[in-house]
Amino acid sequence: MSTNASTKAFQEAQESIPGGVNSPVRAFKSVGGTPIFISEGQGAYLTDVDGNKYIDYVQSWGPLIFGHRDESIEAAVLEAVKHGLSFGAPTEAETELAKLVVGFFDSIDKVRFVSSGTEAVMSAIRLARGFTHRDDIVKFTGCYHGHSDALLVEAGSGAVTFGNPSSPGVPADFTKHTLLAEYNNIESVKKCFADSNDIACVIIEPIAGNMGFVPADKEFLHELRKLCDANGTLLIFDEVMSGFRATINGAESITGVIPDIVTLGKVIGGGMPVGAFGARAEIMAELSPDGPVYQAGTLSGNPVAMAAGFASLSKLKQNARVMAVLEARAKRLVSGMKASAAEQGITMQTDVRGSMFGFFFNDAPVKNFKDAQKSDAEMFAKFHTGMLQKGFYFACSLYETGFISTAITDEMIEETINAAAKVFKAIKNV
């Protein structure tokens, strides 16, 4: 398989783009080699600039639940473009998509659209602080909520709960109100509340997708809800990645835990840049122009993104049963790969929720980021490279999640499993 054109494209990109990419993970640094540059997507496949085709298990990191260039979504976008790309003024398309989103969630009465998941989370936290009149927030190590300053933190040393900046350019003062807890560990959250009586919100990925795929335990989420209620603190579910992917009615529908605020993205844009946050009417009433908490955006709710999102969610609503099919395929994929790995003496941990899946080369179950960091990164890199060479595109980091689209067939799943078996055998025979 030749990747000469991708190599040339990457070299050229590095001359004008930092690292040659516009999002760090795309640089392939954790898996080695040169990132492939894409020329086209169609259905389940990506085609790179060298003409190589890959079955795509990334699907633009989640939004393409119906695969690349879905006809109904593409048609909606092209029709919207005919009327204009952006107005900076209200359109009926915003209301139509808002009603659709609200209809899926028991926890949401109203929703505000923005342009990215980072923006959605940043705004949700500001809203929580404005509603509670408190400053501190709690997040979990390994959960990613975008790259806003207050959320780029790492654990403090010893018994210190408050986080320190994990990136240059983030002043310590910006993270001094961010407390860190351990995912699936309620005692660590209790310590945060013991250290502060000024906690506005706890934000969590109920189905984490950025420390690898690690769903939260139901019991943990129920205890978290009780703890928030006892302290007058809002609970935010960050479902930018898992929303409409793990289940069409939100994590609340499969965990029984109702959050106060939900952040969304990915699927609600159908491939266009969109984020959103929603809550019950009482909380959303604090948001400008109704209330004093300010949030704005020129491209928020732009008509092209709204059209794509409405087409995507409408199709999903009409074909809700497809989620069971996607989950079955995801389970078949990871169980098949796990069995193939076991034949070569390689241990894998796997999990699935809806159309999301994940795997770790780890001897023990993964419950938090500390567990995830014990995974065999070298094995993952070898597996990723081997599968890429055979025409299968997986996330280029062991700390990311995989996705099944409706364009991926049962036959493609079997092809992938067979290829994985060959890759594992080759790895062990080196």
Give residues with Cβ within 8 angstroms of 62, minimum separation 6.
Answer: 209, 241, 245, 266, 267, 356, 401, 403
User: Which of 139, 266, 315, 382 is the catalytic position?
Assistant: 266
How many whole angstroms separate alpha carbon 146 and alpha carbon 352? 23
How many whole angstroms separate alpha carbon 352 and alpha carbon 25? 22
Cβ atoms of 243 and 316 within 8 Å: the answer is no
Active site residue 399: no
For 174, phi then psi, to 5°, come to -75, -20
Cβ atoms of 55 and 393 within 8 Å: the answer is yes
How many whole angstroms separate alpha carbon 52 and alpha carbon 54? 7
Q: Name the residue type at position 70.
A: D
How many whole angstroms separate alpha carbon 194 and alpha carbon 136? 13
Active site residue 238: yes
How many whole angstroms separate alpha carbon 380 and alpha carbon 403? 17
Active site residue 8: no
How many whole angstroms separate alpha carbon 28 and alpha carbon 12? 16
User: Which of 56, 70, 136, 238 is the catalytic position?
Assistant: 238
Helical packing angle, 322-343 and 410-429, nearest 10°:
20
How many whole angstroms separate alpha carbon 377 and alpha carbon 379? 5
How many whole angstroms separate alpha carbon 329 and alpha carbon 65? 13
Rg value, the chain, Cα: 21
Work out whether strand 214-215 and strand 275-279 pair parallel, antiparallel, or are unpaired: unpaired
Give residues with Cβ within 8 angstroms of 319, minimum separation 6.
Answer: none
Q: Return the number of other C-beta atoms located less than 10 Å from residue 225's C-beta.
A: 18
User: Which of 45, 54, 144, 183 is the catalytic position?
Assistant: 144
Residue with tokens 């699935």: 352
Q: Where do the H-state alpha helices sit in 54-139?
A: 71-83, 92-104, 117-132
How many whole angstroms separate alpha carbon 408 and alpha carbon 198? 48
Could you give the residue numbers annotated as active site? 144, 238, 266
